[in-house]
Amino acid sequence: MTAPAVVSWAAYVGWLNVATGPFWFTASIPVVVLLTAWALFELVIDKTSKIGNRTELFGLIFRIVTSSLSGAVISSAAGIGAVMGMSAGLVGGMLGTYGGYNLRKVCVRNTSFGDLPVACVEDTVAICLGVTCVYFVGH
């Protein structure tokens, strides 16, 4: 839920101009609050064993949908077209899913850090990359 929350915040603060497009609602306060709460919940619950692995079917489908929709919002705001944005969002989502997962495993295995600190760094990097992407698209 990091990508949808970041995209919604970018729309809310005016980095992405969604006011006249089909995704106008992403800049509304209720959507920003909902997606932010959902992302924070996911960040916390992801550190437990309560949800499945992100590469399992349900998690993967969820990430495909949310990353593709996030890409569609960004590309729509940039005037590029939803299909191109959905494709880019899908690629970004899969890179984040598999790249982040494998990098996290390697870091935990090859360092003295436990999974929690590595997971927190991974989350921070994901948020920073997301903010950077939407900032540069909007400016």
In whole angstroms, give the CA distance from residue 88 to residue 68: 7
The pLDDT tens digits of the residues spanning 79-116 come to: 888 899 999 999 999 998 898 888 988 999 999 898 88
Listing DSSP states for 34-46 in one string gives: HHHHHHHHHHHHT
Residue 96: the pLDDT is 87
Name the residue type at position 125. Answer: V
pLDDT, tens digit, for every residue of 64-83?
999 999 999 999 999 888 89
pLDDT in tens, 13-55: 999 999 988 999 999 999 999 999 999 998 888 887 777 777 8
The pLDDT score that the predictor gives to residue 51 is 75
Distance between CA 84 and CA 101 in Å, rounded? 25
pLDDT at 61 over 80: yes
Q: What is the mean pLDDT of residues 55-69?
A: 90
Mean pLDDT of 134-139: 85
Task: Write down the pLDDT at residue 131.
Answer: 95
Question: Span 50-61, mean pLDDT?
Answer: 81
What's the chain's average pLDDT? 91
**In 24-33, which positions are buried (b, 16+ CB within 10 angstroms) versus exposed (e)?**
eebbeeebbe
Give the residue ranges of DSSP H helices in the chain. Answer: 2-13, 29-45, 57-78, 82-94, 100-110, 115-138
